[in-house]
Amino acid sequence: MKNIVAAVDFSNATPGVLESAVKIARAFDSSLHLLHVVEPEPSYTAYGFTPDEFPAIHLFQEEARKRATARLQEALDKVAGDVPGATVHLAEGSPMHAILDYVQKVGANLVIVGSHGHGAGRRLAARQRGGRNGAQGGGAHAGRPGARREMSG
């Protein structure tokens, strides 16, 4: 297992994701990629506006990117001592598709995502097992603190 992607959303599930990712990366001497996905900017035309008529949406999106970049750097600082060479990546789009696209791009063997109890982590792991666009490997989802953890793949 050489490449691990840990998808973080900065929720209360993130510490568990980082903890799991560090433990597994160290155990297998793997590369660790921390990934955060920012939702895409809403379409102005859907609301009947042009960007010039409603610039606040664009400003909000830029602020979201800046904050996410800073939080990714904080996460990297937390794991860098345990996993030298860990990297960060900020993507934009549908979280599930952006995660799967990045997994394929880096050739990840394992994806670790947090769970909020809504089941998205299970759906993502199931998609990963199915090998979307040729992706191979497994998935893990780190639940809420004290919750049961699952590995798949």
* Total domains present in the chain: 1
- CATH number of the domain enclosing 114: 3.40.50.620
The confidence band for 42, taking pLDDT boundaries of 50, 70 and 90, is confident
Whole domain around residue 117: which residue ranges?
A: 3-152
The predicted-structure confidence for 113-149, as pLDDT tens digits, reads as follows 987 665 555 555 555 555 444 444 445 545 444 443 4
Q: pLDDT-derived band of residue 41, with 50, 70 and 90 as boundaries?
A: confident
This prediction's pTM: 0.74
**What's the rounded Cα separation, in Å, for the pair 82 and 85?**
10
